[in-house]
């Protein structure tokens, strides 16, 4: 695939294939399948997240640390590593090399940031993240 710039229309196919692999993965699939109850909504949110990360669109309006903190007991470094392996496989096979490389670097930074935030959260931060997650869950049930 010739090198080109990232465009938002690249996201849906990549995310669909990536999360199909994640859901089927014996190691990380159970974590995602337990955590995500509406895959259409999840893919839409993740699309907005990556649009914001890659293009600065600001479409994502959420708190990824709080979302992941709700599952902190299951989010081990090994699971993050597996997530990154599947991400690298999927982006490499579906995107131009420069775009895949950029998305892989950003994913690694995001994974590291999430792990550090979860590991080193203070008691006050933990309380805030738990409250944020409860508010998000309650709001989703009302929709």
pLDDT tens figures, 31-63 = 999 989 999 999 999 999 999 999 999 888 877
pLDDT tens figures, 13-35 = 999 999 999 999 999 999 999 98
Q: How far apart are CA 118 and CA 74, in angstroms?
A: 11
The class (CATH top level) of 8-142 is mainly alpha
Q: Strand runs (DSSP E) across the chain, as ranges?
A: none
**Domain boundary assignment for the chain:** 8-142
Yes or no: say if 43 and 32 are a contact pair by the CB < 8 Å rule: no
């Amino acid at each position: 695939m010739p090198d080109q710039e990232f465009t938002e229309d690249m996201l849906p196919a990549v995310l669909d294939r990536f999360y199909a692999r994640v859901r089927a993965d014996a190691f990380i699939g159970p974590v995602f399948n337990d955590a995500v109850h509406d895959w259409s909504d999840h893919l839409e949110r993740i699309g907005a997240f990556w649009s914001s990360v890659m293009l600065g669109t600001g479409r994502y309006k959420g708190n990824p640390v709080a979302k992941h903190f709700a599952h902190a007991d299951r989010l081990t470094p090994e699971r993050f590593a597996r997530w990154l392996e599947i991400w690298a496989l999927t982006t490499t096979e579906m995107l131009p090399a420069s775009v895949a490389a950029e998305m892989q670097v950003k994913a690694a930074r995001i994974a590291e940031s999430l792990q550090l935030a979860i590991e080193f959260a203070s008691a006050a931060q933990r309380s805030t993240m738990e409250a944020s997650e409860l508010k998000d869950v309650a709001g989703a049930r009302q929709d």
